[in-house]
């Protein structure tokens, strides 16, 4: 055998020996690529929770949906897609709503039922991710290039749906992706044009685009260049926000107000104890007794240890308002029938108008499907029930201003604020009692929603919370001053309230942005069906 033939034979032999190893390596690599999306998927819940109020690493939200997007794009079957989407949503809401467990335990709910309540709520809320994941899986056939736009559009529609459905049914729109930016005034100004949904769209688009870019088989520098649209979008939002909050855009016509927000930190489980009634009344009296000549004193929701219709409390409040020359807005049940959650105005001249809460807390203030659930759950049948107020109610007058009240849970429903701003409200007040949430992230999450209601409507918001966080939020959604959680005291401030300002784009034109998203998704869905 010649030397060349010998060399070739030896090389062939070595290649044959390596072939099984190469095949094994390829199989391992293929197996790893199959499970990689599952390994990455839990990152989305972690990043969302860390970006949200409480932790407030806001920048993490911009990449949070990248792992979920990778999973959608890699899923081989509908079963895989739906399972992963449910898991992603379940873990996200488990992290965001963990405070449900200590809240229920503080109310003496047994451990098994408290755990079950949290798990069931997280499972139900995971429908958000199932909806968007399914749509993303459906439209990915159009190619990864348009996936970020369509996926972000579906996300904006989903957020709008879970808010709007509350006008006729029940949902819990506590989580909005845009709320993660509550501490960044420069980013949230776009909400005056698109509502919070536009900011959620931008964050979702960035995460989805990152997933698409990372999956490309291109040199690293080309992948970096692929993120240019997201960088341009974020930069544009930032620049627009800086312009909006600049002094040049401040309104010319304002009304000065001296306000005081009460934060008495009354223990919820002692408040209705007759033995503590005198002590609580004395505490509230001491707080208001040092407030001289305030234009408005805002009390938290259900601050009184009794009913406002009780003659002793009615006379007491009238006396405070008359002696100190201040108008007060006090949370109580409605005067008269006691069937509504109310905010009552007391002025130096006497009783002013009342406000009746329009969107009630399910299972807290009313029972959905009482006729059905009451047959199977005795506790449900025994619960009392409030009635919702009319959607359009009279404003509370204050120094020529039109003040629109809201109560607690209503802060997460943009349509209430848009409707009132459209009718001419100059300012919003929100009274709440977040004592149920103890020292968790829930009070911060609750406050974040009001930041967006101010920015969406271009109207300031005053918030009085029993144990915090009480705050003065200006028309740009910036918290000018606040009182920390669980700190007892009075938050006093002098503010300038713009009067008779033109409505924001969002108030004037409503959810046109969501409508554009819906048209875009519908067009692509129809094109896929007939392709």
Domain stop point among 389, 409, 440 = 389
Question: How many separate domains does the chain show?
Answer: 3
Residues 136 and 96 grouped into a single domain: yes
CA dist 213 and 224 (Å) reads 8
Do 277 and 243 sit in the same domain of this protein? no
Tokens of 150: 């369509």
Q: Please name the residues in contact with 294: beta carbons below 8 A apart, sequence gap of 6 or more.
A: 258, 259, 260, 324, 326, 492
301, pLDDT greater than 50: yes
Please check whether residues 406 and 444 belong to one and the same domain: yes
Between 438 and 363, name the one with better pLDDT.
438
Do 378 and 418 lie in one domain? The reply is: no
| Angstrom distances, CA of residue 379 to CA of 85, 107, 374, 376, 388 | 34, 14, 8, 9, 21
User: How far is CA 28 from each of CA 16, 37, 41, 64, 229, rounded to the nearest angstrom?
Assistant: 19, 15, 20, 28, 35
DSSP for residue 212: H
> Of 22 and 393, which is predicted with more confidence?
393
> With 0-12 CB in 10 A as exposed, 13-18 as middle and 19+ as buried, what is 100?
buried
The residue-averaged pLDDT of 321-346 equals 86
Please name the residue that has the structure tokens 């305030």: 294
Shared-domain flag, residues 218 and 269: no
Calpha distance 30→35 (Å, rounded): 9
Alpha carbon of 505 to those of 12, 193, 511: distances in Å?
74, 5, 10
Predicted pLDDT at 526 = 84
Decide: 428 and 462 in contact? Cβ < 8 Å. yes
Q: Please tell me the distance from the alpha carbon of residue 422 to that of residue 271, in angstroms, as a whole number.
A: 38
More confident residue, 527 or 400: 400
User: Pairing between strand 396-398 and 350-356?
Assistant: unpaired
Please indicate, yes or no, whether residues 364 and 354 belong to a single structural domain of this protein: no
97 and 185 share one domain: yes
pLDDT in the model for residue 379: 46
Q: In this predicted structure, which of 270-274, 321-325, 513-517 has the lowest mean pLDDT?
A: 270-274
Q: State yes or no: pLDDT of 412 exceeds 80.
A: yes
Same domain, yes or no: 342 and 193: no
Give domain status of residue 147, yes or no.
yes
pLDDT value for 380: 45
Tokens of 395: 């404003």
Is residue 18 pLDDT above 60, yes or no?
no
Q: What is the pLDDT, as a whole number, of residue 422? A: 95
- Give 473 or 167, the one with higher predicted confidence: 473
- The answer to whether 203 touches 187, Cβ cutoff 8 Å, is no
123 pLDDT higher than 90: yes
- Asked if residue 10 belongs to a domain, the reply is no
Segment 432-455 mean pLDDT: 92
Q: Is 38 or 167 the better-scoring residue by pLDDT?
A: 167
pLDDT at 335: 79
pLDDT at 491 exceeding the cut of 80: yes
Extract the tokens encoding 339.
């069937």
Query: Is the link from the previous residue into 523 a cis peptide, with omega within 30 of 0?
Result: no
Asked, for residue 107, whether it belongs to a domain, the answer is yes
pLDDT digits (tens, 9 = 90+) for 508-519: 999 999 999 999
Based on the fold, state whether residues 364 and 408 are members of the same structural domain.
no
Q: Does a structural domain hold residue 221? A: yes
15: in domain: no
Q: What percent of the chain has pLDDT over 70?
A: 90
Q: Give the long-range contacts of residues 508-514, CB within 8 A, separation 24 or more.
A: 508/422, 510/418, 511/160, 511/195, 511/197, 513/156, 513/193, 513/194, 513/195, 513/197, 513/198, 513/201, 514/156, 514/157, 514/160, 514/195, 514/197
- Has residue 185 been placed in a domain? yes
DSSP structure class, residue 366? B
Among 431, 399, 414, 424, which Cα is nearest to 477's?
414
Beta bridge partners of 99: none
- Residue 24 burial (CB < 10 Å; 0-12/13-18/19+)? exposed
What's the mean pLDDT when you consider all of the chain? Answer: 87
Q: Averaged over 477-484, what is the pLDDT?
A: 95
Domain containing 445 — which CATH number? 3.60.110.10
Among 103-112, 291-300, 357-366, top mean pLDDT goes to 291-300
304 and 323 housed in the same domain: yes
Query: Could you tell me the residue range of the domain that residue 471 belongs to?
Result: 252-358+393-500
Collapse the DSSP code of 88 into the 3-class scheme (helix H, G, I; strand E, B; otherwise coil) and give the result: helix
Read off the pLDDT band of 278 (50, 70, 90): confident
Claim to verify: residue 338 and residue 470 sit in the same structural domain: yes
368 and 282 part of one domain: no
Read off the pLDDT band of 154 (50, 70, 90): very high
Helix (H) or strand (E) holding 333: strand 327-333
Residue 23 lies in a domain: no
Task: Give a yes or no: residue 17 inside a domain.
Answer: no
């Amino acid at each position: 055998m010649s030397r060349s033939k010998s060399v070739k034979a030896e090389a062939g032999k070595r290649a044959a020996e390596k072939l099984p190893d190469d095949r094994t390596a390829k199989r391992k690599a293929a197996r790893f690529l199959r499970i990689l999306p599952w390994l990455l998927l839990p990152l989305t819940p972690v990043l969302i929770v860390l970006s949200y109020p409480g932790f407030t690493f806001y920048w993490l939200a911009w990449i949070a949906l990248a792992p979920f997007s990778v999973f959608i794009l890699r899923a081989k079957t509908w079963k895989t897609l739906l399972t992963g989407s449910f898991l992603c949503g379940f873990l996200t809401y488990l992290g965001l709503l963990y405070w449900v467990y200590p809240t229920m335990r503080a109310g003496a709910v047994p451990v098994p039922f408290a755990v079950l309540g949290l798990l069931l709520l997280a499972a139900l809320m995971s429908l958000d991710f199932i909806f968007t994941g399914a749509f993303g899986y459906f439209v990915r056939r159009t190619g990864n290039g348009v996936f970020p736009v369509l996926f972000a559009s579906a996300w904006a529609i989903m957020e709008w749906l879970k808010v709007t459905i509350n006008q006729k049914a029940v949902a819990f729109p506590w989580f909005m992706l845009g709320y993660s930016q509550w501490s960044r005034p420069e980013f949230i100004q776009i909400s005056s044009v698109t509502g919070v949904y536009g900011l959620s769209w931008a964050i979702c688009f960035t995460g989805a685009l990152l997933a698409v870019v990372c999956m490309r088989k291109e040199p690293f520098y080309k992948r970096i260049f692929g993120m240019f649209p997201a960088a341009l979008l974020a930069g544009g939002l930032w620049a627009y926000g800086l312009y909006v909050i600049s002094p040049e855009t401040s309104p010319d016509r304002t009304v000065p107000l001296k306000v005081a927000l009460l934060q008495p930190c009354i223990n919820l489980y002692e408040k209705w104890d007759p033995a503590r009634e005198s002590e609580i009344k004395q505490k509230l009296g001491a707080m208001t007794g040092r407030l001289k000549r305030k234009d408005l004193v805002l009390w938290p929701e259900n601050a009184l240890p009794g009913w406002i219709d009780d003659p002793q409390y009615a006379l007491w409040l009238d006396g405070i308002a008359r002696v100190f020359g201040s108008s007060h807005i006090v949370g109580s049940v409605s005067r008269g029938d006691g069937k509504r959650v109310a905010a009552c105005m007391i002025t130096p001249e006497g009783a002013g108008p009342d406000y009746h809460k329009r969107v009630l807390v399910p299972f807290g203030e009313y029972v959905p499907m009482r006729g059905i659930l009451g047959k199977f759950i005795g506790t449900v049948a025994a619960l009392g029930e409030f009635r919702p107020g009319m959607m359009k109610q009279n404003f509370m007058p204050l120094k020529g201003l039109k003040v629109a009240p809201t109560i607690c849970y209503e802060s997460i429903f943009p349509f209430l604020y848009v409707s009132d701003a459209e009718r001419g409200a100059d300012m919003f007040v929100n009274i709440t009692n977040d004592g149920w949430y103890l020292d968790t992230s829930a009070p911060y999450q609750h406050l974040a929603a009001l930041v967006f209601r101010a920015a969406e409507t271009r109207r300031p918001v005053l918030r009085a919370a029993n144990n915090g966080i009480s705050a003065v939020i200006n028309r740009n959604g910036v918290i000018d001053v606040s009182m920390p959680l669980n700190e007892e005291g009075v938050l006093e401030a002098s503010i300038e309230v713009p009067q008779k300002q033109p409505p924001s784009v969002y108030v004037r034109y409503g959810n046109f942005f969501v409508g554009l998203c819906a048209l875009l998704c519908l067009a692509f869905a129809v094109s896929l069906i007939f392709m």
